[in-house]
Each structure stands twice: as C-alpha cells, then as structure tokens.
C-alpha cells in the first residue's frame, strides 16, 4: 500500500507516460482500485500543496496547525501572543507520535475520501474505490472472516499511516512555515522543502521523495532522475 502510494504519486504528476491522458487513466486505477481512494481528492489537495507549500491557510498539508500542533516559528509565536491553548504544545514532541503517524490514514483519510467523492459527485472515482473494497473483502473473507478481514485492513492502514506520515513530514515540517508572503515561486519551493540523504533504502522507503527539493522544482520529472 505504501509503495502503491508512491506509484500513484508518479502518475498523478504525469511523470510516467508521455501522454497526459494515459497518466490520468492509470492514476485512477492505481489510487482507486489498488488503494481505495479517489484521484480527484488527491489532485485537489496535492496541487494546492505544490502551488503554496508550507503556506498557512493555502497548503492543506499544514492544516493541522493550530488544532493539534504549533508549526513554524512565526505561527508558534503568534499563538503564544494570543494565548491560544488548543493543545499543550510544549509537549507536542511527545504526543506527535500518538496523533500524527498512526492516526492520519486509518482515522481521517479512511472516511474523508468517501465524503469527498460523494460530496463532489465523483462517481467514477467512487466506483474505482468500491472495486478496491470488493476485491479486498472477496479475497480475505473466506480465510479470515468478517472480524479478521476488518482487522487486517485496519492493521495495513495503521502501518501505512506511520510510513506515509514519516516520509511526507520529514522533508517539509522542518522548513519555513508561515502565511503566504507572495514570494516568487522558485524561492517558495526552496523555503518549504529539504532533502534526506540518498541511500538504496531511503530511495525505496520514500519513493525517491527524499529528493524533495528536486521534486518540487521539477514535479513532472520521473523520480529515478532526481539524483542527476
């Protein structure tokens, strides 16, 4: 599931086939049938992220501020001045591991993707998603029963969530996070991204998103060329 996530990311960025239409078609199959999520949902969120990375109120990936975490120096100071105590932020480095990595995919994405597809009437995406769940349950119900199949699905999502959050946050959250200052596009990308050391394992584990700077500057480039 985690590797299928990096794969759908490739198709979503039109970086596999020379024709955009082919990328869109296979993207719907990979994210819908292999992962159970709508391509339209990913496009809606991810394109906003690439346009304004780490810009508060414009990048959906930093919307957890200030409900769960105090992100960035500027926004954290602003919270302190306003004395907004949504959470005990002085302990966020402890509860991040409880709220962030384990919970995002199984507790939030799991229901929100269906809400998104139905609300926006993305019936084709919904059909692809249902095909994933039908295939999953037909495969495992005879062996594990209802409870066992649901438990397996939850376990997979739990492991995937930890994997996904670590990769996506390690190359953005340490960087500059603030309101949109209308800085030029090139500088905006560099301020919000950082790379993680290259190794065979890191390349595989992160889907080459350890080259986050290169990915944001050249989002349609095939991932195996980032190191060049």
Q: How many helices (H) and strands (E) does the chain have?
A: 10, 2
Whether 12 is in a domain gets the answer yes
User: Using CA of residue 2, residue 136, residue 26, residue 119, what is the dihedral sign?
Assistant: negative
Q: Which phi and psi angles does 55 have, rounded to 5°?
A: -95, 115
- How many CB atoms neighbour CB 157 within 10 A? 21
- pLDDT score of 67: 82
Whether 223 is in a domain gets the answer no
Residue 180: which region, alpha, beta or left (left: phi > 0; alpha: psi -120 to 50)?
Answer: beta
Whether 197 is in a domain gets the answer no
Helix (H) or strand (E) holding 76: helix 73-82
* pLDDT tens, the chain, 228 aa long: 999 999 999 999 999 999 999 999 999 999 999 999 999 999 999 999 999 999 999 999 998 888 888 888 888 888 888 887 778 888 888 888 888 899 889 888 999 999 999 999 999 999 999 999 999 999 999 999 999 999 999 999 999 999 999 999 999 999 999 999 999 999 999 999 999 999 999 999 999 999 999 999 999 999 999 999
Q: How many domains does the chain have?
A: 1
The domain of 173 spans 1-180
Whether 192 is in a domain gets the answer no
């Amino acid at each position: 599931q985690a590797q299928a996530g990096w794969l759908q990311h490739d198709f979503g960025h039109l970086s596999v086939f020379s024709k955009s239409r082919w990328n869109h078609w296979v993207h719907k199959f990979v994210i819908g049938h292999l992962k159970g999520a709508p391509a339209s949902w990913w496009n809606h969120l991810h394109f906003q992220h690439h346009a304004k990375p780490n810009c508060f109120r414009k990048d959906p990936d930093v919307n957890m501020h200030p409900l769960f975490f105090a992100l960035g120096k500027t926004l954290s100071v602003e919270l302190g001045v306003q004395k907004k105590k949504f959470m005990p932020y002085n302990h966020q480095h402890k509860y991040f591991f409880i709220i962030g990595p384990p919970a995002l995919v199984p507790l939030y994405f799991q229901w929100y993707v269906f809400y998104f597809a139905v609300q926006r009437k993305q019936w084709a995406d919904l059909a692809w998603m249902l095909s994933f769940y039908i295939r999953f349950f037909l495969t495992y119900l005879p062996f594990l029963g209802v409870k066992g199949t649901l438990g397996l699905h939850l376990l997979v999502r739990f492991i995937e969530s930890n994997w996904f959050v670590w990769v996506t946050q390690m190359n953005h959250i340490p960087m500059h996070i603030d309101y949109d200052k209308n800085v030029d596009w090139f500088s905006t990308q560099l301020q919000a991204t950082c790379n993680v050391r290259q190794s065979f394992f890191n390349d595989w584990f992160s889907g080459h998103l350890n080259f986050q700077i290169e990915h944001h500057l050249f989002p349609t480039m095939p991932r195996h060329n980032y190191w060049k």
